[in-house]
A and B are shown apart, each in its own frame.
Chain A
Amino acid sequence: EPEVTQTPSHQVTQMGQEVILRCVPISNHLYFYWYRQILGQKVEFLVSFYNNEISEKSEIFDDQFSVERPDGSNFTLKIRSTKLEDSAMYFCASSEALPGWGRAFFGQGTRLTVV
């Protein structure tokens, strides 16, 4: 079965540093997403991306966050200046169509630890 791959699986960074989380969505998918899950809490939507632009972002997705699809295969999430509260699992997802019509496949996640 096709899968979404994320790298790295675990990233430790110092507060204030920039991090880039990488994802390779499924090749024929058109819609891309980032979600976050703080330990013990629910999965929260961060941003959706379609046709090379952000289609929706949450309140969490402030100016410190950005997304990019630099080369037609990778999809990245950048956090410019990490805070302690950014520590969480970050999940990339992709879907061929909007989730109502197709499955949203999630990657295995990147665990970000900010120290």
Chain B
Amino acid sequence: QKEVEQDPGPLSVPEGAIVSLNCTYSNSAFQYFMWYRQYSRKGPELLMYTYSSGNKEDGRFTAQVDKSSKYISLFIRDSQPSDSATYLCAFFGSSNTGKLIFGQGTTLQVKP
């Protein structure tokens, strides 16, 4: 079983749509859950991070964590063409050295 599973997509939606991106994980030691956005040939940029089950909202973005199901989601409301990027889930907590474990990334295209 893979430590992190993330559907690579691509996912194509019209502008204004609600987008749902998901990851599942198998390592119970993961304590912190993050979403990064990566534009083509650029470095990952942290969007959201949470450490507990439940929801965290920041503007148009909502991160959701369900530890019992080992499942995390990122919702994007009122999606914009500028949201077109690859979204990476990332996990921390199985070591105390700062190592992040990334999902494969989901490529999102928002069409005007």
Contact = CB atoms under 8 A, between A and B. Distances in A.
Interface of A: 4, 31, 33, 35, 41-45, 48, 50, 55-56, 58, 89, 91, 93, 95, 98-100, 103-109, 111
A56 B92 contact: no
A106 B43 contact: yes
11 contacts: A4-B43, A42-B103, A43-B44, A44-B102, A55-B97, A93-B43, A98-B97, A98-B98, A100-B31, A103-B49, A109-B42
The listed residue with most A CB atoms (<10 A of its CB), out of B41, B44, B45, B88, is B44
Interface size class on chain B is 20 to 34
Contacts of A35: 100
Interface string B71-110: 0000000000000000010101101111111111100000
A104 B43 contact: no
Interface in B28-73: 31-32, 34, 36, 41-46, 49, 51
Contacts of B31: 100
B43 A91 contact: yes
Contacts of B95: 56
B92 A100 contact: yes
B30 to A, nearest CB: 10
A50 B101 CA distance: 18
Contacts of B90: 43
